[in-house]
Structure 1
Amino acid sequence: MTENGSLAGALRESGLTQAELADKVNARLICAGHEGTVSDRTVRNWLTGKTLWPHPRQREALEAVFGCTAVELGFSAPERRRPSNSLEAPVNRRNFLTATTGTTVAVSVPLVGAPPQVGTSDVIRLRRGLDALMEVDRSRGGHEGLERAALLGAQEALAKQKLGATQRIRRRLFSVAADYTATAAWSAIDARRLDRAHVLLGKALYLAGMAKDPIAEMRVWNSYAMLAHHRHEFTEAVDAAYAAQGTGIARRVPFFASLAHARTAVGHANLRDRQAALRSLGHAEDALTKAEAAGTAPSWIAFYGPAELLAMTAIVRDRIGDAAESEAASHNALATIPEEFRRNRALAMCRLALAQLHQRDVDQACSTASTVFTLMSGHPIPGRMRSLLGDYYRDLITLAPDASIAREWGDRYRTEWSRL
Structure 2
Amino acid sequence: MAVNAALKQKMLDLGLTQDELAAQMNLALLAITGRPGDVSARTVRNLLSGATQRPIGRTCKALEEVFGCPLRDLGFKERSTAAPPEDPVKRRQFITAGTALALASAGPVLAAPRRIGTSEIERLQRRFADIVASDHRYGGQLGIEQKAAALSEEALALQSTGAASQRIRSQVYASAAAFRSSAMWAAIDGRRSKDAIGHMQVAQQLAEMSGDPFIKFRIWSHAGTLYRHMGRAGDAAAANDVARGLSITRTDPMFASLGLARHAAIHGAAGDHQASRRAFDQAQDAMLRADGGAQRPMWMNAFYDQAELDSLALSAYLALGDFARAEFHGHRCLAGLRPHMQRSKAIATARVARAQLEQGDVEPAVASAMSVPTDQAVRHPRVVGMLRTFSGRLNVMAQNTAIAQTWNQYAHETWRSVA
Q: TM-score, normalization: structure 1?
A: 0.70
Q: Is 2:408 aligned against 1:410?
A: yes
User: Structure 1 residues 229 and 392, CA, compared in 2 at 3 Å: closer, same or farther?
Assistant: farther
Residues 292-307 of structure 1 correspond to what in structure 2 (within 5 A)? 292-293=291-292, 296-301=295-300, 302-307=302-307
Residue 181 of structure 1 deviates from its aligned partner by: 0.3
Residue in structure 2 matched with residue 340 of structure 1 by the alignment: 340
Residue in structure 1 matched with residue 373 of structure 2 by the alignment: 373
Kept after mapping to 2: 8 A contact 1:314/1:327: yes
Residue in structure 2 matched with residue 389 of structure 1 by the alignment: 387
User: Structure 1 residues 159 and 361, CA, compared in 2 at 3 Å: closer, same or farther?
Assistant: same
1:176-224 deviations in Å (ceiling 9; x for gaps):
0000000111111112211101110111011111111111111111111
1:349-397 deviations in Å (ceiling 9; x for gaps):
11111110110111110110111135748xx521122222223223223
Residue in structure 2 matched with residue 59 of structure 1 by the alignment: none
User: Structure 1 residues 350 and 114, CA, compared in 2 at 3 Å: closer, same or farther?
Assistant: same
Kept after mapping to 1: 8 A contact 2:113/2:163: no
Residue 244 of structure 1 deviates from its aligned partner by: 1.7
1:6-50 deviations in Å (ceiling 9; x for gaps):
xxxxxxxxxxxxxxxxxxxxxxxxxxxxxxxxxxxxxxxxxxxxx
1:107-145 deviations in Å (ceiling 9; x for gaps):
xxxx95341331111111101110011111111223122
User: Structure 1 residues 296 and 390, CA, compared in 2 at 3 Å: closer, same or farther?
Assistant: farther
Give the percent of matched residue pairs that are identical in Structure 1 and Structure 2: 34
User: Structure 1 residues 251 and 388, CA, compared in 2 at 3 Å: closer, same or farther?
Assistant: farther
Q: Which is further off, 286-295 or 115-124?
A: 286-295
Residue in structure 2 matched with residue 248 of structure 1 by the alignment: 247
User: Structure 1 residues 122 and 179, CA, compared in 2 at 3 Å: closer, same or farther?
Assistant: same
Residues 186-265 of structure 1 correspond to what in structure 2 (within 5 A)? 186-265=185-264
AA aligned opposite 1:328 = F
Residues 121-160 of structure 1 correspond to what in structure 2 (within 5 A)? 121-160=119-158
Report the 3-state secondary structure (helix = DSSP H, G, I; strand = E; otherwise coil) of the residue aligned with 1:338: coil
Residue 327 of structure 1 deviates from its aligned partner by: 1.2
Tell me the distance in 2 between the aligned counterparts of 1:294 and 1:322.
Answer: 35
User: Structure 1 residues 310 and 173, CA, compared in 2 at 3 Å: closer, same or farther?
Assistant: same
Tell me the distance in 1 between the aligned counterparts of 2:351 and 2:178.
Answer: 29
Residue in structure 2 matched with residue 72 of structure 1 by the alignment: none
Q: Is 2:284 aligned against 1:274?
A: no
AA aligned opposite 1:312 = L
User: Structure 1 residues 334 and 294, CA, compared in 2 at 3 Å: closer, same or farther?
Assistant: farther
Residue 347 of structure 1 deviates from its aligned partner by: 0.9
Tell me the distance in 1 between the aligned counterparts of 2:320 and 2:392.
Answer: 19
Residue 280 of structure 1 deviates from its aligned partner by: 0.9
| Unaligned segments of structure 2, at least 5 residues | 1-108
| Unaligned segments of structure 1, at least 5 residues | 1-110
Compute the RMSD of aligned alpha carbons: 2.2
Tell me the distance in 2 between the aligned counterparts of 1:196 and 1:415.
Answer: 31
Tell me the distance in 2 between the aligned counterparts of 1:386 and 1:200.
Answer: 24
Kept after mapping to 2: 8 A contact 1:189/1:384: no
Kept after mapping to 2: 8 A contact 1:342/1:375: no
Q: Which is further off, 295-304 or 115-124?
A: 295-304
User: Structure 1 residues 375 and 284, CA, compared in 2 at 3 Å: closer, same or farther?
Assistant: farther
Residue in structure 1 matched with residue 84 of structure 2 by the alignment: none
Kept after mapping to 2: 8 A contact 1:254/1:291: yes
Structure showing greater Rg: 2
User: Structure 1 residues 289 and 165, CA, compared in 2 at 3 Å: closer, same or farther?
Assistant: same
User: Structure 1 residues 152 and 395, CA, compared in 2 at 3 Å: closer, same or farther?
Assistant: same
Q: Is 2:404 aligned against 1:419?
A: no
Decide which of 399, 402, 408 is 1:401's aligned counterpart.
399
Q: Which is further off, 335-344 or 241-250?
A: 241-250
Tell me the distance in 1 between the aligned counterparts of 2:292 and 2:335.
Answer: 20
Tell me the distance in 1 between the aligned counterparts of 2:310 and 2:138.
Answer: 22
Residue in structure 1 matched with residue 171 of structure 2 by the alignment: 172
Tell me the distance in 1 between the aligned counterparts of 2:245 and 2:408.
Answer: 44
- How many residues align? The count is 310
Residue in structure 2 matched with residue 113 of structure 1 by the alignment: 111
Tell me the distance in 1 between the aligned counterparts of 2:406 and 2:294.
Answer: 45
Report the 3-state secondary structure (helix = DSSP H, G, I; strand = E; otherwise coil) of the residue aligned with 2:371: helix
Tell me the distance in 2 between the aligned counterparts of 1:418 and 1:295.
Answer: 48
User: Structure 1 residues 317 and 411, CA, compared in 2 at 3 Å: closer, same or farther?
Assistant: same
User: Structure 1 residues 346 and 112, CA, compared in 2 at 3 Å: closer, same or farther?
Assistant: farther
Residue in structure 2 matched with residue 323 of structure 1 by the alignment: 323
Residue 266 of structure 1 deviates from its aligned partner by: 0.7
User: Structure 1 residues 207 and 361, CA, compared in 2 at 3 Å: closer, same or farther?
Assistant: same
Tell me the distance in 1 between the aligned counterparts of 2:217 and 2:351.
Answer: 26
User: Structure 1 residues 294 and 353, CA, compared in 2 at 3 Å: closer, same or farther?
Assistant: farther
Kept after mapping to 1: 8 A contact 2:347/2:382: no
Kept after mapping to 1: 8 A contact 2:366/2:403: yes
1:54-81 deviations in Å (ceiling 9; x for gaps):
xxxxxxxxxxxxxxxxxxxxxxxxxxxx
Tell me the distance in 1 between the aligned counterparts of 2:202 and 2:353.
Answer: 37
Tell me the distance in 1 between the aligned counterparts of 2:305 and 2:150.
Answer: 30
Report the 3-state secondary structure (helix = DSSP H, G, I; strand = E; otherwise coil) of the residue aligned with 1:372: coil
AA aligned opposite 1:216 = I
